Amino acid sequence: MANSNFDTTTRRRDTDPQKSLADFFRHHLPQIVVSALVVAVLAGGALYASRASETAPHVVYSVSLNQIQQDVQQPLLVNINTADAEELDELPQVGPSTAETIIQYREANGLFRSVSELEEVPGIGPATLEEIKPFATI
């Protein structure tokens, strides 16, 4: 005699679904509240761990990463007419004594008119000049 529309004392069907849902939420309010609290605590822990704990890096002085990248990638370029001995020393195949010789030549003969004129400096031959050329300018 089972009939899905037949009300019994153990199984009642509310005709107003909203009322039955409200009853459901009212009846299970403790579970819902505690579940929400647990989720809030775990989410709060996740926020703290990811953004506020000591393991999370944070910026204290803003620098442009693009600028840093440009500074790092900037090639070595030494102006042989204005560089001092320390800067000339950074050129390949140029040591402290060769740097001094370049400065002496510059003081005696005036500014270099081209990078190739370095070959006139004692101690700098064609092979050394080829290595210096990419990193030297006037």
Residues of the shown chain interacting with other proteins in the complex, contacts defined by CB under 8 A: 17, 20-21, 24, 28, 30-32, 34-36, 38-39, 42-43, 45-47, 49-51, 53-63, 65, 68-69, 71-72
Q: Which of 91, 137, 97 is closest to 117 using CA atoms?
A: 137
**Residue 43: CB minimum distance to other proteins, A:** 6
Under 8 Å between Cβ of 79 and 137: yes
Half-sphere exposure of 137 (CA within 13 A, CB side): 6
**Residue 1: CB minimum distance to other proteins, A:** 19
Long-range contacts of 56-62 (CB under 8 A, 24+ apart): none
**Residue 7: CB minimum distance to other proteins, A:** 14
Return the number of the residue (8 or 107) whose C-beta is nearest other proteins: 8
In whole angstroms, what is the distance from residue 102 CA to residue 119 CA? 10
Return the number of the residue (23 or 130) whose C-beta is nearest other proteins: 23
**Residue 39: CB minimum distance to other proteins, A:** 4
